[in-house]
Amino acid sequence: MRCEDARPLIDSYLDGELDLVRTLDLERHVEGCASCAPVRQSAMELRAAVRRELPYFRAPQSLQQRVRAIAQQPAKAAPRVTVLRWQWIGAAAAVLLVVLGAARLGENLLGPSQEDLVAQQIVAGHIRSLMANHLSDVTSTDQHTVKPWFDGKLDFAPTVTDLAQSGFPLVGGRLDYMDGQPVAALVYQRRLHYINLFVWPSTGVRGAPPSSEKASEPASQARAQTREGYNMLHWNKGGMTYWAVSDVAADDLQSFAALLQK
């Protein structure tokens, strides 16, 4: 892919509108292009600033529940009502449509959240590692071999845990690029399935190691989602961000994450 082909697609990529093949092609180009990478980063920062600074109005949960409850009610014979009452109901419905439409318009204008964008990159990175037969830069089942390999290659030291006795043997590790920064990708195996575990600091300052306070923080509740048929889990622990992705069963991935969160 050339720069003139890639740049018009960056906004669509950030909106999650590209298919998987074009997403992977664009990411491969941007990661190796000194001209297009800043364009993507600037667009991501602009979207983040818009989300952070501009007011956003969402229909209250109670209102959404009432609308759904009304929609699910069985049809009844229309009672005799006055014209005035029907006019009031019509006006209320119009106001409701405006509120819901404005909320929907706000979501469309702002595009996907930062977490959605990162999740999209995580899935693409996992698929790319399988398609390119590039699961690891250092292949070893020994955590004491994999962990030192990252020294000097990253500004942080990822925790590497041996989970072989629990049914998740370590395969190796590699460098990857997510959320605008280099990250550690640790590879585990569950029977015939591979699990990519992406790790990077969640301090908010790129390249900065976790503070002493962050390093002792407990693990947050893992958030689960499914994209392109892959199960994903996302949590924070000890000042680090963790994303696990695989085509293993959701229960297996939950067990994997629970082991790492201990």
CB-CB neighbours of 184 under 10 Å:
25
What pairs with residue 174 in β-bridges?
A: 185
Q: Give the per-residue pLDDT at 215.
A: 56
Rounded-to-integer distance, Cα 215 and Cα 226, Å: 29
Within 8 A by CB and 6+ apart from 10, the residues are 26, 30, 36, 39, 40, 43
- What the block records as the tokens of 173 is 């590790």
Cα-Cα-Cα-Cα dihedral of 49, 50, 54, 57, to 10°?
Answer: -130
Secondary structure E strands in the chain? 138-139, 170-178, 181-190, 193-201, 223-227, 230-237, 240-246
Beta strand pairing status for 181-190 and 170-178? Answer: antiparallel
Within 8 A by CB and 6+ apart from 81, the residues are none
The Cα-based distances of 201 to 18, 73, 130, 148, 165 in angstroms read 28, 49, 25, 18, 28
Rounded-to-integer distance, Cα 102 and Cα 96, Å: 10
Whether this prediction's pTM lies above 0.85 is answered by no
CB-CB neighbours of 157 under 10 Å:
15
What is the chain's pLDDT, residue by residue, as a tens digit (262 residues)? 788 888 888 888 887 778 888 888 888 888 888 888 888 887 777 777 666 665 555 667 777 777 777 777 776 555 554 544 545 566 566 666 665 665 555 545 456 677 888 899 999 999 989 886 789 999 999 999 999 999 999 999 999 999 999 999 999 999 998 888 899 999 999 999 999 999 999 864 444 455 555 556 677 888 999 988 999 999 999 899 999 999 999 999 999 999 999 8
Beta strand pairing status for 223-227 and 193-201? Answer: unpaired
- What the block records as the tokens of 131 is 């398609």
Q: Which residue has the tokens 């585990």?
A: 188
